Amino acid sequence: MIEVGPAAFMGLAAVLFTLGLYGAVARKSAVMVLMSLELMAVSVNLNVVALSRFVTPTEMTGQVFAIFTMVVSAAEIGLGLALVLAIYRQTRSIELTTMDSLKG
């Protein structure tokens, strides 16, 4: 039986966060960037729940906090997708590289 400790959760979270970070910085599609942002949020949630389970097993603080975060992420993704749709209607494109009308 393999012992699954906090390190394994934190390692997985680090992998997920890094994947999300890369996606957010490097992907061209706005939808992909939003998904990458979600990935980073999920990795954080994973960390929060894992640390809560291992550090304070009797408290439920981490889990509750994770649910809050998921609610906020859902709202955020809704807003983000709405923005993407609006931009798409305007420019027929969701490529972030073309969105530079705020250029200095």
Partner 1 sequence: MAYVALIPLLPALAFAVLAPLSRAVRNRMRWVGVAGVAGSLALSFAAFAAVWPGGDEGEATYRASASIASVGGVDLALGILLDPVSAVMLIVITVVAVCVQVYSLDYMRHEERIGWYYAVLSLFTAAMLALVLADNFLMLYMSWEVMGLCSYLLIGFWHEREEPRKASQKAFLTTRVGDVGFAIGLAVMYATTGSFAFDVVLGSAAGWAPGVATAVALLLLFGAMGKSAQVPLHVWLPDAMAGPTPASALIHAATMVAAGVYLVARALPIFEASGIALTVTMVIGATTALVGGLLALVQFDLKKVLAYSTISQLGYMFVAIGAGGAVAGMFHLVTHAFFKSLLFLGAGVIIHALHTQDMREMGGLGRRMPWTAATFGAGALALAGIAPFSGFWSKDEILYAVWKGHHYVVFALALAAAFVTAFYVARLWFRVFMGAPRTLAAFAGHADTDHGDEDHGGHDGGHDESAADRRGETRWPMVLLGVITAGIGFSAPFFSEFLGHAGHWPDPMIASVSMGVALAGLGAGWWVYGRRAGAVDTEAIKARFRPAYSALDAKIYFDAAYERLAIRPFIRVTESLAVFDRIVVDGVVNGAAVLWRTATDLSWGFDRRVIDGVVNGTARLSRSAGVALRRLQSGRVQTYQRYVLGALVLLMLLIVVKGA
Residues that bind partner 1 (CB under 8 A): 21, 24-26, 33, 96-97, 99-104
CB nearer to partner 1: pick between 23 and 62: 23
CB nearer to partner 1: pick between 33 and 42: 33
Task: Specify the long-range contacts of residues 2-11, CB closer than 8 Å, at least 24 apart.
Answer: 5/54, 6/50, 6/51, 6/54, 6/55, 9/46, 9/47, 9/50, 9/51, 9/54, 10/47, 10/50, 10/51
Residue 101 C-beta: closest distance to partner 1, Å: 6
Helix, coil or strand: residue 29: strand
Residue 63 C-beta: closest distance to partner 1, Å: 28
Residue 24 C-beta: closest distance to partner 1, Å: 6
